[in-house]
Structures are given as C-alpha cells and as structure tokens.
A and B are shown apart, each in its own frame.
Chain A
Amino acid sequence: MSSGNAPHVPSLAVVFAGIHRGLIRLQRIPSLMLPAVLMPVFFVVAFSGSFASIVELEGYETDKAVNWMTAWAVMQGSAFSGMGAGGLAGTDLENGFFDRLRVAPTRPMALIGGLVGYCVCRALIPITAVLIVAFAFLGADMPGGALGIAMVYLSGIGMAVVMSFLVLGIVFTFKTLKSLAIAQIIMFSSMFLSVGQAPIQAIEGWLHHVAAINPITNVIRMCRQGFLGEVTWSITQPGLIALFGMMVGTGIWARIRYKKVDA
C-alpha cells in the first residue's frame, strides 16, 4: 500500500495521535491494564516471599529478597506493557482499521512510534505500582537514592520499547491477535534466561553461559543497582548499550515485518 503523492503529516504529530488513541482505549477498557499491573505486583510479592532465604547464597549482595526481586518484577511489568502494542496492532489488523492507517499519508515508523509510545506510557503504571508495593509493604531499600529510582524507570521504559518493537514484528508477521501467544513465549524465555532471579555467580551449567551473553542481563543489573548500593557508571553503561542495541535490532525487525502486512 502507498499513500501516493499526498503530503505527509508530520511524523511527530502521528506519533502523539497514536499515543493519544492508545491511552483513550486504555481509559475505555481499564481491564486491559489489570494483567500488566497485577502480574508484576504478584511477582514481586511471590518471588520475595517464596525465595526469601535465597539471598543467603553468595552473590546476592543484599539481605532482603525484595531488593533483588523488585527489579525483576519491574522488568516483567515493562515487558507485559510492551505486549500492549501487539494487542492494539493485532486488533486493528483483524478488524481492518490498520489498512486504513497504512494508506494515510504518513511514515510507517510514525505509526509504529505511536504504538510504542503508547506502551511506554502504559509501562509507567506497573513500574510505579511495583515500586509502591515493594517500598510500602515489603520493606525494600534504595541505597542508590533518586538516581537508583531513575535507573528503574529508565530500564523499565527501555524494556517496554524493546518488547513493543519485538511484539509488533511478530504481529505484523502473523497478522492476528493469536500470535501474541508466540510473543509471550519469546518474551518469557528471554527474560528468564538472565540474572532476573539469581546472580550470575549462583547460576550453573548452560544457563550461566546464556545469561552471561543475554543483553537483558545488563539491563536488569542497571535496573537493580540502586537497590543494592550506589549507582555506578560501570553498571549503567553496559545496560544502556544493551538497551540501545536491542532497540535498534528490534526496531529494524518491526520495520521489516511491517512490509509483510501487504504480503
């Protein structure tokens, strides 16, 4: 499909319109947010409770499981929020509205950007909810101070962007909402094969090697550092590089698969 010779609408306006549309949908169907908020909140409660004694092992660098697990729950919440882009695009593809968007005089990346921006806004809700539960009810510490909190939001937002691009690529490929199940499996697997629940020193066997090269490991470390101590550049830098690399990779993937919608 092509928009022909029609003048292009400024991309930024399209991105904001996309975000606005997503947020209106969220306002109309608030139940869409329930899994994205309840699941990570449950994760931080469940993992901090179940694995309360695990921090006795070497490498955890904290005496409270909640300090370790909050970052993991934040990452899960952000990733779940990223699924929202696929949910909205999948619905639009199934009911034909996406075809109308595609013939609009705008750039594909502006349409994709609107969906991703919507997910970034969505991600702020579970991140905040997890932090409130962790600090108010589970006694989490934040020796990293405000900078530590900033790292949590930065990592969470970054992960939401990465997962949005990834899921959009999958939905553009299969053109159905049902493909979200595939996206969920990929998302869960990539998150679990990292240092989400255990430090690299405690992980043995094949998973040790996989977690060591999984870029999500660096993002989780960046997110977690404020809970364990001061925020340092040596932990932040690899996290930022990993996020940037994954954003570029998944962004290209989403853009390439966008073309597949016509196929």
Chain B
Amino acid sequence: MKNNVFPQVVKLSHRSILGMLRQPQSWAPGLFFPLLLAAVYSSQFSRAVTIEGFPFADVSFLDFVLPACVIQGVLFGSTNSASDLAADIENSFMDRLLVSPVSRGSILISRLASAFMYGVAQATILISIFAAFGANIAGGAPTIISIVVIAALLSVSMGSFGIAIALRTGSQEVVQSTFPLIFVAVFVSSAFFPVQLMEGWYGAIARKNPLTWVIDPTRRMTIHGFSWNDLGQSLGIILAIASVGVGLSIRQLRRRLVRAQ
C-alpha cells in the first residue's frame, strides 16, 4: 500500500477538506471580516485616494483594498488545516495513521492540499462578492486567476508554518495562538493603506514586510491590469516563504516519526 501514494493523498486530502467544511466556525470569520472591512473602508476612506502622494489615480478605494482583503481572508484561515492536524495528534488519530501502512508524506501533502483548496475557495468567493458590489478588476480573467493562485499558494505557505507548529507541539491551542502574528503581519503592511503615506518606524517596517511585497504587485495587477512581472514578484516571495515553511514541516514530521518509533 505504501507504494500507492497518490490515492492515499487523495483520500487524506478529501478527509481534510471535509473536516474543514464541517466546521464553518473556522472558515466563516475569514469570509466575514474581510468583507466587513472592505464595506466599511470603501465608505470611510473613499476620499483617501485624493490625498497627495496616493500612488493610484482615479481608483476607487474598493478596488484598492480588494487584493488586501482577499489575502487577509486567506491568511486568517490559513491555520485551519494545521489546527485540524493538531486535533488529529491530540485525539490520537495521528498515532493510528502512523501504525497504518500509509505514506508519511501523504499526511503532510494532504494538509497542504487542504490549505490550497481553502485558498482557492476563499479567494473565488471573495472576488465574486467584490465584483457583485462593483469592484473593477483590470485585466479580467488573467488577473482574477492570478489573484486566486496567489491566494491559494499564500494559504499553503502560511499554512505550512502552522503545520510545522502543529507537528512540533501537537496542540490546537498553540496553533491558534499564532493568529495574532498573522493579524499584526497584515496590518503592518500595505494592506489597507499605501506605504508611501505611512510615516516613521511604522512605515519603515511596513515597507520591509514581505506581505507588502506580495500585496503591492497584486494590487497593481488589480488596478492596472495583468503583468507577468507583478505575478512573478508575488509568486517569487510566496514560494520563498513556502520553501521555508514546508522545509520546517518536513523536519518536524521526521522528528515526530522518530519519536513515534
């Protein structure tokens, strides 16, 4: 059975995705809060685009915050699959998996696949709602597909850090306690306001935040249209983050396997 990895990955991924769908309390906030912030900010800060130095001319604030809200929604739910993995460890399902002839890699891949699917679904739903409320996405389908791919891969990359923590600690509580870090990372970035208009140390940190380097090119695509350069920049940063996260996850999985023997 160990040789048949693909069916195992499919089965375990199916289980992970079903598990997530059955817990709306874990993914609903990731839909609700970005929509609330977008609705509120597009009304509250609609005149902000007229401030001198605002980097985009003739743009609505809804268009401006669209990519940030999609990324925020995906990030808020990015630890869901890690939290489910920690639950498996807490309730000993992981031990049962480990005594079965299942491929060890499929345990990790299935959770990453679940994070990917979550990102795809979340981004698609959010973009659809934004479009229904009048958001204008320049570049049409290529830009929309790019945003969905960026969101899904970002969900995988941030989720992989959560998975590493879940494998290391085996605690849902610890995994969920990383949420404030994500919250801080989103707010101290160009997500809701351009870094060009931020001042002092706060602006300096926001400019160096890797999320800014993901959000800015995604935003340029949303406002100016699809560009391979912008897509490449976003994906490059995300893949760099993912390589670290997935590397840590593999290391923690190996450590857990050694401990389990």
Interface, chain A (partner B; CB < 8 A) = 35, 38-39, 42, 45-46, 48-54, 56-58, 178, 181, 185, 188-189, 192-193, 197-198, 202-208
A207 partner, pick from B43, B47, B193, beta carbons under 8 A: B43
Contact bitstring B36-79, A, C-beta under 8 A = 1, else 0: 11011001111110111100000000000000000000000000
Within B117-161, which residues are at the interface with A (CB < 8 Å)? none
A52 partner, pick from B29, B37, B46, B199, beta carbons under 8 A: B199
B199 partner, pick from A46, A49, A192, A206, beta carbons under 8 A: A49
Q: Contact at B36–A49, with CB atoms within 8 Å?
A: no
Q: Which residues of A contact B53 (CB under 8 A)?
A: 53
Of the stretches B184-192, B227-235, B246-254, the one at the interface is B184-192
Q: Contact at B39–A53, with CB atoms within 8 Å?
A: no
Q: For residue B41, which residue of chain A has the nearest CB?
A: A197
Q: Contact at B43–A50, with CB atoms within 8 Å?
A: no
5 A-B pairs with the lowest CB-CB distances in the bound complex, closest first: A49-B202, A207-B43, A198-B44, A53-B197, A46-B187
Once the chains are docked, how many angstroms separate the CA of A197 from the CA of B193? 13
Once the chains are docked, how many angstroms separate the CA of A207 from the CA of B44? 8
Within B175-205, which residues are at the interface with A (CB < 8 Å)? 180, 183-184, 187-188, 192-193, 197-200, 202-203
Q: Contact at A45–B202, with CB atoms within 8 Å?
A: yes
A49 partner, pick from B45, B50, B51, B198, beta carbons under 8 A: B198
Q: Contact at A207–B40, with CB atoms within 8 Å?
A: yes
Within B86-139, which residues are at the interface with A (CB < 8 Å)? none
New contact pairs (18) apart from A49-B200, A49-B202, CB-CB < 8 Å: A35-B180, A38-B180, A42-B180, A45-B202, A49-B199, A50-B187, A50-B192, A51-B193, A52-B197, A52-B199, A53-B199, A57-B50, A188-B36, A192-B36, A197-B44, A198-B44, A204-B43, A205-B46
B25 at interface, CB cutoff 8 A = yes
Q: Which residues of B contact A206 (CB under 8 A)?
A: 43
Q: Which residues of A contact B193 (CB under 8 A)?
A: 50-51, 53-54
Q: Which residues of B contact A188 (CB under 8 A)?
A: 33, 36
Once the chains are docked, how many angstroms separate the CA of A58 from the CA of B180? 33
Once the chains are docked, how many angstroms separate the CA of A255 from the CA of B215? 47
Sample (21) of A-B pairs whose CB atoms are under 8 Å apart: A35-B180, A38-B180, A39-B180, A42-B180, A42-B187, A49-B203, A49-B206, A50-B193, A50-B198, A51-B192, A53-B48, A53-B199, A56-B51, A57-B51, A181-B29, A185-B32, A189-B36, A192-B40, A203-B43, A203-B44, A208-B43
